[in-house]
Structure 1
Amino acid sequence: MNPEDWNKVIILGRQLAAGAELPQDAELPELLMRMAPQVGIAVEDAAPALATPATTCELAMEIQRRTRDGSYRLGHAFDEADKLVAAGDVAGARTVLERAREVEVVPLYRDQLRAYLDDPQDT
């Protein structure tokens, strides 16, 4: 995982969503192909999206959407789980984390949820 790649694709996705043109950057296809598996998109599914500017734009926006949605889901799950643990409801906290993990597609976020679930001090 390269945080710089994540930042680039998040910024690009926001710009495209706001109506910006797809940049004519030689690095863009490589960036999207590096990022696709990191957000749960198989390389063989991402590669055809590079065929046209429109589908490249869609791929970039999907990658950004997955990072955004997963980040929100992760933060919400952690906040809710912490509140439940503080209230003494450890089972409820585990349920919140397990439900978030079940729907999460970003491998990094799934790993973070798994680590939180595996920590016996937290849940």
Structure 2
Amino acid sequence: MPEFDGWNQIWELNRRVTDLGEPLALTDETRALLRSTAAEVAIAPEEVTNALQGDAGAAALLEEIAKRIRVGSRRLSRALSESRKLEEAGDRDAARAPLLALLDVEVVPLYREQAEIQLETLDEP
């Protein structure tokens, strides 16, 4: 299960680096944050190790982590919303489609798990 405080820290750090142009200070704490949150969004350990070799790689890693969290969250919200509307309209088969489409592209384990849980509820009587 993700550490949402870490996700919030990533969001804030990415905002400061990307939006405000602050340099990324690659401290031990920052490395640990990037390493742990990268694992939570399904970035391979080798990719993380390589990225943490320098400031540019670490900044790119930060951006990718933040993107996976942001884009995946939006994708999940849309799929859940569309699925619920179809379910409420009485079409459980159609309600599965947006969730299955999400599972075809989503890599963040938490978002995949939430879609799978919703699929399971559609199978309940």
**In structure 2, do the counterparts of structure 1 residues 36 and 24 end up closer, same or farther at CA, with 3 Å as the change threshold?**
closer
Distance 1:73 1:14 in 2: 21
In structure 2, list runs of 5 or more residues that go unmatched: none
**Deviation (angstroms), 1:23:** 2.7
Across the two proteins, how many residue pairs are aligned to each other?
Answer: 123
Partner Cα separation in structure 2 for residue 60 and residue 24 of structure 1: 11
Percent same amino acid among aligned pairs? Answer: 37
Distance across 2 between alignment mates of 1:52 and 1:24: 8
Q: Which residue of 1 aligns with 2:90?
A: 88
Q: Measure, in 2, the Cα distance between the counterparts of 1:51 and 1:72.
A: 31
Q: What does residue range 17-96 of structure 1 map to in structure 2 within 5 Å?
A: 17-18=18-19, 19-96=21-98
Given that residues 104 and 110 in structure 1 are in contact (C-alpha distance below 8 angstroms), is that contact kept between their aligned partners in structure 2?
yes
Note closer, same or farther for the CA distance 1:72–1:122 as it changes in structure 2 (3 Å cut): farther
| SS of equivalent residue, structure 1 residue 119 | helix
Please report the TM-score for the alignment, with normalisation by the length of structure 2: 0.91
TM-score, structure 1 normalization: 0.92
Q: Which runs of 4+ in 1 moved over 6 A?
A: none
